[in-house]
Amino acid sequence: MSDFDLDRVRADFPILREVIHGKRLAYLDNGATTQKPEAVLLALDGYYRHANANVHRAVHELAARATRGYESARDTIAAWFNAAREEIVFTRGTTDAINLVARSFLQPRIAPGDEVLVTTMEHHSNIVPWQLAGAKTVAAPINDAGELDVDAWRAMLNPRTKLVAVVHCSNSLGTINPIATLIAEAHARGIPVLVDGAQSAAHIAVDVRELDVDFYACSSHKFYGPTGFGVLYAKREHLEAMQPRDGGGDMIDTVAFDGSTWNEIPYKFEAGTPDIAGAIGAAAALDYLAGVGLQAAADHEHAVLAYATEKMSGVPGLRLVGTARQKAGILSFVMDCAHPHDIGSILDQAGVAIRTGHHCTMPLMKRYGLPATARASLALYNGKDDVDQLVDALHMVNRLFA
């Protein structure tokens, strides 16, 4: 598509034709998971109908088809992020990818008291794995708008900092962090950097070579692909030095009772039968995004975000949480009259799907003195009509509870 065509995009997503409680579906829970276009559904169906076999282990035709599809997916994903194919490790998602780095990269390199520098806005998946690996997590502060205090962050870098782990785009606030600056600052001190790209991969072009990032993790289901599949980009030198976390089939070179040796990268980190369909579906999702045009989709999303911000600011008693100057399509909010869970229930009856709770960011909620927020999150198939349906339902919340 040369120009962004919302009607045409929506026609690609069958689930958007669902009727919810007698109302059109306004799906605004994309920060949790995105819906899947027909192209992805057909890719998944095509694999299971015409190529269902295991990869790398047989010479029959179905196995050859499966292996071609699986490895072609790696090529597609590597090209999307401008990485070498051997630097792309297939995982179960962002959480699994971060845990892999925590156990295989960080844990062997730290001593008691060593630190991982994170931010106050991190998802639990970018906090807990470092703690399980034995590191101390220290968090740089944010201002009331939800922006990272970069000066304070810089001052927290010290000889005990063994890794910087930072979210690219906050799942609770929508804040887009200046990761290029953070990576350069950390590297100037010899500190490697992991970027949690779960919320950014579908909205922001990411060139891992240009960023010079050490690790970048993302999940397929956040960029219109299947659930249960994700990607870890890691620099070749890190993967070569890391020991595998999981043992089993396909990650080995030789096996004997007195010891085993490992396969080449990235396969030494991919034990067992992989999510073949997940890889094929993820590649199909990226091909779909490329066809739509990532920048065109991002421009459309920013226009809807601006419209939603204005419309929601006019709802009595509603306060937006997260008003960073650099922000993606996430609108977290609270209302004076109702708990977020009640808001979510009323909106559901109006056909509006949002997320309520702490969004796996409990330290961030504590920073704002809130138990939870309601969150509407945008994708390329959302439009002003979805926002209008949301705002009408929010006025209904006021009528019922105020």
Active site residues: 360
Element (H, E) at 79: helix 61-80
The strand order across the sheet containing 318-321 reads 318-321, 330-335, 373-377, 355-357
Distances from the Cα of 130 to the Cα of 5, 95, 112, 116, 144, angstroms: 43, 12, 13, 7, 26
d(CA 205, CA 214): 17
Query: Strand, helix or coil at 251?
Result: coil
CA distance 154 to 157: 6
- Per-residue tokens: 374: 């309601």
Q: Phi/psi at 210 (nearest 5 deg)?
A: -65, -40
266 preceded by cis ω (within 30°)? yes
